[in-house]
Amino acid sequence: MSPLKTLRTKPLSPRFGVEVLDIDLATVDLLDVFPAIRACFEHQSALLFRNQKLPAQTHMRLAEMFGPLEDRKADEKLPSDPFEISQLSNVTANGGVTGAMELHTLSLKSNQLWHTDSTFLPIPALVNILTAKIVTETGGETEIASTRLAWHDMPESLKRRIRGRGIHHRFSHSRAKIDAELARQHAIIKWPDTHWNSIWRNPVTGEDALYIASHAFRIDGMDEAASEVLLTELTEFCTQPEYVYSHKWTVGDVLIWDERATIHRGQPWDYSKPRALASICSSVTEADGLSSMRMV
């Protein structure tokens, strides 16, 4: 049975992504509604739930249904320290906003590069569950591009240039495109380079997707300059309008996407205005195709 027959949905874009209707994420059960959500996730790559109340514990519980919670600060904490939800926010503790050129704001701006979350980690992300807490009237959209559909449509002449190759990823590579000092921060440089297959095959659907990110800096068999040229060409192909969904945020929206089959970016906004989104990534497991992505 198609997953679309088990949930009431409507399309987000002509070719991928759906808005899931009549679901309260606070009541989702691992053995009941979640299997339908997960099946829809595998096929559609992006899911939107509107008018949700997603406090921290509910947010974490939902993310744990997808897989282990990703914690980039685990090496800095005691086992008893609580998990901290990532805040994509320019709001300060006293209610103000960070300056447009402060490192914190520059870090937010780096998310405006087309990227896949966590390709620089030893175990990358399966999913990002992002919810809106404070939104701006203009700007600040999140755009998602389907690298699954793009790979399906890509000319064979372009596919041949990347198929079968591994891609090396480095967190500081993307941050250096925004600011040299940002790229030198400990939280950025503490991760060793990673090496992933360029194509991620979904073990449920059997479909392939191009696995790229702004963190990618070298392709096997190429120097960095030639790699950058090809990575730019591949990204430009994948981000043509027919492969992109742009989401205008409303408070209470929850947007979930498959990191194996999409790339995404934020859009700028007036940084004198407050904006806050809360994000949790769940890590991939062997069941999600991890072994096939590791390069020797």
pLDDT digits (tens, 9 = 90+) for 64-84: 999 999 999 999 888 889 999
- Predicted confidence (pLDDT) per residue in 204-227, tens digit: 999 999 999 999 999 999 999 999
CATH H-level superfamily of 3-293: Clavaminate synthase-like (3.60.130.10)
What residues in the chain have per-residue pLDDT under 50?
1-5
Beta carbons of 88 and 104 less than 8 angstroms apart: no
The amino acid sitting at 243 is Y
3-state SS record for 41-78:
HHHHCEEEECCCCCCHHHHHHHHHHHCCECCCCHHHCC
